[in-house]
DNA sequence: TTGTAAGCGTTATCAC
DNA sequence: GTGATAACGCTTACAA
């Protein structure tokens, strides 16, 4: 008899707990201290201090029914007094959710820093998640394969509640992966044609392209060049197609080269675009780094901007108004889109359907780098 | 008697588990599915499949002694076959560590995107953490107070194993907070004089300042201006003091204005610096955005760069070679410093001492925006 | 070497 | 409304 009842008692939290706190000493205590948290105020401490059970405390602290207002108030007060905060791991384990959204970045560091898009997006995303007590779990992948490995790991370990997929490529392996695990909510930032049915927030590139081309067309430009990002990137491809269409529609000649977002890439592509005869009178770049580099080299070659050549960039950043002439851009509220992405992700976590949502639309921000097409076009 | 023995059996994991898997149906199952993970392969499943106990499995999977090589091999194989991965929350709860490093960013989104420093640092940090199966938990704070709230929360909830503190200000409240909780490892990125004894990785600004000033001095510049970042930022202050000293040492006139890292700020400060008589013949900017804006406005004012005025920037980015003339900068391996920060943080997590470590040193990257001081100086 | 079960700090179910 | 306790999935002390 004794061993059984002993065990039963030992099984009770309160006893176990107080036993650990006072009886044992040495190794275990040391470990606990090493582990990190000093302030191990648990729900049991709160329960004891407020003279109720741990479940009552849990209900009270989570604003759930099941306790009287009187006890709720008391528990809340005691918890605050003790400085209690729920242990994240325990909560995650019990609730089977983590309050974390996962993002994997697979681009090279210097590229990431050169592109304002990602940082602004993350800032918006983070700020919105913040409002809902969610965090962002961030990983930097080394290559595409690694990216899939990380996602698989997150899915299997349950380390995040949902995933944000960025920079999708055509036939992206991540789409296949997420379709294998429909229970893991994921939002893809890409054109719906690339997402394989996954919930999507799409950027309104088509509209923007039409707007940009007709803006230049209205200025008299009849030959437009473009320096796009890497061809493997979904949005490069989408924009390219849209440009072809819009140009054809307006009877504008259009030529596109792809580069790697770097100054060097922008310079090379610009030189090549300007070496054909007749040359384009306007060039649109997929990012501001290439636009600036392109504008710079064009000036070095003797072109006046925008007298001889108009320059436009895609996506705005401080850089666009730090250079002279200031760059005309197709800009959009990227931070806002980050907020929206967060809202969509939280919806997905709640089991709601999302389907296809839109990013904030692009708007033309006309500045000094664009102007009427030159009357005549001579080469340099 | 019956109830007691019943309970005892129910307490056993294996029984509980199999009961849940087959007996019950409906609500509970549904909840489990809702929660997220489909592939709930647990350590018990692996144990059952390989015919050993759960502890043997745990030892095997964690490469710990306590199992024979034979069983270890078998367990590993079975686990792999079943696609088992440890549940993050459970592991965190049991081990009292999370395999996560926390970073709070408190800057405005547009500023973050304008400064390559942060993204490169995070990229390096993330890549190194990656090697050690650590993740980065990222939060975006809205204001300084919020930042402290988040840190407090992380400390109390045990959501991270260590903290990286960036952009420290003078008398930063975070330093006081972390000194209250010495059990939470934290690394500050700042000058040791600002860290209040916290482990530090410092940037070698002093050296760099000396190098920059003597470089310009060697070119014949005797009046140097500087456009620094916000005065509240620790590194602005540190650099300012260093500049004063280095300039005094070499008998160079030095004048510093502080701006907010934006193009507008850079333009205003540049105008003011150039409006005094005699004007400086070289200006050093704390970031590339302001440097570019400053260079641009100076050219608009009729100054030739570098003929009349030399321009230097602090920290390198793609932008510095995207603009013409390319910007001379004091650059450093920021990604590398991120890696180093991660290593230091992991040391701290392991209970090792760190003290004061160094970032990668700055190097002068001489490009086209600097040159000999002009013979005579007239105003525009 | 192996298995048993306590323990991590929550949540949620179930009697009372 | 309240308290007891099973459950979450893992690690690890201890018994066998």
Enter the tokens of residue B67: 């199992």
pLDDT (mean) for A343-349: 96
Task: Let me know the angle formed at the C-alpha of B90 by B159 and B135, rounded to the nearest 5 degrees.
Answer: 45
pLDDT band at A278 (very low <50, low <70, confident <90, very high): very high
How many angstroms separate the most distant Cα atoms in chain A?
105
Check residue B264 and give its pLDDT.
Answer: 95
* Chain B residues inside the 8 Å CB shell of A293: 321-323
Q: Which of A166-175, A235-244, A248-257 has the highest mean pLDDT?
A: A248-257
Render pLDDT for B256-280 as a digit per residue (tens, 0 to 9): 999 999 999 999 999 999 999 999 9
User: Mean pLDDT, chain A, as a whole number?
Assistant: 87
B221 to chain A, closest Cα gap in Å: 25
pLDDT band at B379 (very low <50, low <70, confident <90, very high): low
B140 to chain A, closest Cα gap in Å: 5
**Under 8 Å between Cβ of B87 and A157:** yes
* Chain A residues inside the 8 Å CB shell of B321: 263-264, 293
Quote the CA–CA distance of A126 and B167 in Å, as a whole number: 18
- pTM value > 0.85: yes
Check residue A112 and give its pLDDT.
Answer: 81
Which nucleotide has its C1' atom closest to residue B13's CA?
A: C5
Quote the CA–CA distance of A163 and B146 in Å, as a whole number: 25
B87 beta carbon < 7 A from strand D?
yes
Does B17 have pLDDT greater than 80? no
* Chain A residues inside the 8 Å CB shell of B157: 85-88
B263 and chain A in contact, CB less than 8 A: yes
Does B23 have pLDDT greater than 60? no
Distance A221 CA to D7 C1' (A): 69
For chain B, what percent of residues have pLDDT higher than 70? 89
Check residue B361 and give its pLDDT.
Answer: 97
Does A10 have pLDDT greater than 90? no
Neighbouring CB atoms inside 10 A of A162's CB total: 25
**Under 8 Å between Cβ of B368 and B328:** yes
Distance B33 CA to D2 C1' (A): 30
pLDDT (mean) for A212-222: 98
Strand C proximal residues, B:53-72, Cβ < 7 Å: 53-56, 59, 65-68, 70-71
List, in order of start, the domains of chain B with CATH numbers.
4-95 (1.10.260.40), 100-203+335-360 (3.40.50.2300), 205-332 (3.40.50.2300)
- Nearest to B115, CA basis, from A166, A59, A114: A114
**Under 8 Å between Cβ of B104 and B150:** yes
- Name residues whose C-beta falls within 8 Å of residue A145's C-beta, 6 or more positions apart in sequence: none
Render pLDDT for A95-110 as a digit per residue (tens, 0 to 9): 989 999 999 999 887 7
Check residue B380 and give its pLDDT.
Answer: 62
Does B179 have pLDDT greater than 50? yes
A30 beta carbon < 7 A from strand C?
no
B35 and chain A in contact, CB less than 8 A: yes
B318-to-A265, A286, B35 alpha-carbon distances in Å: 11, 15, 44
Does A21 have pLDDT greater than 60? no
Residue at shortest CA–C1' distance from C9: A90
Of A117, A130, A262, the CB nearest to B139: A130
Of B36, B118, B296, the CB nearest to A158: B36
B9-to-A156, A366, B42, B43, B51 alpha-carbon distances in Å: 30, 75, 20, 20, 20
For chain B, what percent of residues have pLDDT higher than 90? 76
Render pLDDT for B139-164 as a digit per residue (tens, 0 to 9): 999 888 999 999 999 999 999 999 99
Check residue B374 and give its pLDDT.
Answer: 97
Strand D proximal residues, A:66-85, Cβ < 7 Å: 66-68, 70-71
Q: What are phi and psi of A217, to 5 degrees?
A: -60, -40
Q: Find the closest chain B residue to A108 by CA distance.
A: B123
B55 beta carbon < 7 A from strand D?
yes
pLDDT (mean) for B102-107: 93
pLDDT band at A23 (very low <50, low <70, confident <90, very high): very low
* Chain B residues inside the 8 Å CB shell of A41: 156
Check residue B170 and give its pLDDT.
Answer: 86
Of B88, B98, B324, the CB nearest to A296: B324
Quote the CA–CA distance of B179 and A257 in Å, as a whole number: 55
Does B12 have pLDDT greater than 90? no
Around B183, how many Cα atoms within 13 Å sit in the side-chain half-sphere? 18
pLDDT (mean) for B222-239: 91
Q: Which nucleotides in chain D have some atom under 7 angstroms from a protein Cβ?
A: 1-14
A42 and chain B in contact, CB less than 8 A: no
Distance B210 CA to C2 C1' (A): 66
Check residue B110 and give its pLDDT.
Answer: 74
pLDDT band at B8 (very low <50, low <70, confident <90, very high): very low
pLDDT band at B233 (very low <50, low <70, confident <90, very high): confident
Q: What are phi and psi of B93, to 5 degrees?
A: -65, -45
Check residue A12 and give its pLDDT.
Answer: 31
Q: Which of A10-14, A336-340, B3-7 has the highest mean pLDDT?
A: A336-340
Residue A214, by phi and psi: left (phi above 0), alpha (psi -120 to 50) or beta?
alpha
Render pLDDT for B180-214 as a digit per residue (tens, 0 to 9): 999 999 999 999 999 999 999 999 999 999 999 99
A301 and chain B in contact, CB less than 8 A: no
Q: Classify residue B327 by burial, with Cβ atoms within 10 Å: 0-12, 13-18, 19+.
A: buried
Render pLDDT for A178-214 as a digit per residue (tens, 0 to 9): 999 999 999 999 999 999 999 999 999 999 999 999 9
Ranges A6-15, A37-46, A106-115: which has the least confidence: A6-15
Enter the tokens of residue B92: 């965190």
User: Mean pLDDT, chain B, as a whole number?
Assistant: 87
Of A89, A116, A324, the CB nearest to B296: A324
Residue at shortest CA–C1' distance from D2: A56
A214 to chain B, closest Cα gap in Å: 28
Contact flag B113-A98 (C-beta cutoff 8 Å): no
In this predicted model, which residue has the larger pLDDT, B76 or A6? B76
Check residue A244 and give its pLDDT.
Answer: 96
Quote the CA–CA distance of B189 and B202 in Å, as a whole number: 6
DSSP track, A201-234: EE--HHHHHHHHHHHHHHTT--EEEEEES-TTBH
Check residue B5 and give its pLDDT.
Answer: 27
Distance from the first to the final alpha carbon of chain B? 101
Does A14 have pLDDT greater than 70? no
Contact flag B105-A112 (C-beta cutoff 8 Å): no
Strand D proximal residues, B:22-41, Cβ < 7 Å: 37, 40
Contact flag B98-A87 (C-beta cutoff 8 Å): no
Q: Find the closest chain B residue to A262 by CA distance.
A: B318
pLDDT band at A18 (very low <50, low <70, confident <90, very high): very low
**Under 8 Å between Cβ of B134 and A124:** no
A347 to chain B, closest Cα gap in Å: 14
Within 106-145 of A, beta carbons closer than 8 Å to B belong to: 108-110, 112-114, 116-120, 122-124, 126-127, 130, 135-142
Contact flag A324-B300 (C-beta cutoff 8 Å): yes
**Where is B224: in which H helix or E strand?**
strand B223-228
Render pLDDT for B77-99 as a digit per residue (tens, 0 to 9): 999 999 899 999 999 999 999 99
């Amino acid at each position: 008899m004794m061993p059984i009842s002993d065990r039963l008692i030992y099984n009770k939290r309160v006893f176990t707990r107080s036993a650990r706190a006072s009886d044992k000493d040495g190794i275990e205590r040391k470990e606990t201290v090493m582990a990190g948290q000093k302030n191990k105020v648990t729900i049991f401490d709160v329960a004891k201090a407020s003279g109720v059970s741990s479940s009552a405390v849990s209900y009270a602290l989570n604003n759930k029914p099941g306790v009287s207002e009187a006890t709720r108030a008391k528990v809340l007060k005691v918890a605050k007094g003790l400085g209690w905060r729920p242990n994240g791991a325990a909560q995650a384990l019990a609730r089977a959710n983590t309050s974390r959204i996962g993002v994997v970045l697979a681009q090279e560091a210097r590229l990431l820093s050169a592109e304002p898009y990602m940082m602004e997006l993350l800032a918006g995303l983070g700020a919105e998640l913040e409002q809902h007590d969610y965090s962002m779990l961030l990983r930097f992948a080394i290559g595409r394969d690694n990216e899939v490995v990380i996602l698989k790991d997150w899915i299997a370990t349950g380390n995040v509640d949902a995933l944000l997929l960025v920079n999708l490529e055509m036939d992206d392996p991540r789409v296949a992966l997420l379709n294998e695990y429909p229970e893991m909510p994921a939002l893809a930032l890409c054109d719906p044609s690339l997402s394989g049915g996954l919930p999507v927030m799409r950027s309104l590139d088509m509209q923007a392209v039409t707007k940009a081309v007709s803006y230049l067309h209205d200025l008299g430009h009849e030959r437009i060049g473009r320096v796009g990002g890497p061809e493997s990137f979904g949005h490069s491809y989408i924009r390219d197609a849209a440009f072809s269409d819009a140009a054809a529609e307006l009877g504008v000649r259009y030529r596109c080269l792809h580069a790697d977002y770097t100054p060097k890439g922008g310079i090379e592509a610009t030189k090549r675009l300007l070496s054909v005869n007749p040359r384009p009178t306007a060039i649109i770049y997929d990012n501001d780094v290439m636009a600036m580099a392109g504008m710079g080299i064009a000036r070095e070659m003797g072109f006046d901007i925008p007298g001889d050549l108009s320059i436009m960039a895609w996506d705005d950043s401080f850089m666009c108004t730090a250079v002279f002439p200031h760059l005309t851009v197709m800009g959009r509220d990227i931070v806002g889109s980050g907020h929206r992405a967060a809202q969509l992700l939280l919806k997905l976590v709640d089991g709601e359907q999302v389907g296809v949502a839109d990013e904030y639309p692009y708007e033309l921000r006309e500045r000094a780098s664009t102007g009427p097409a030159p009357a005549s076009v001579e080469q340099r």
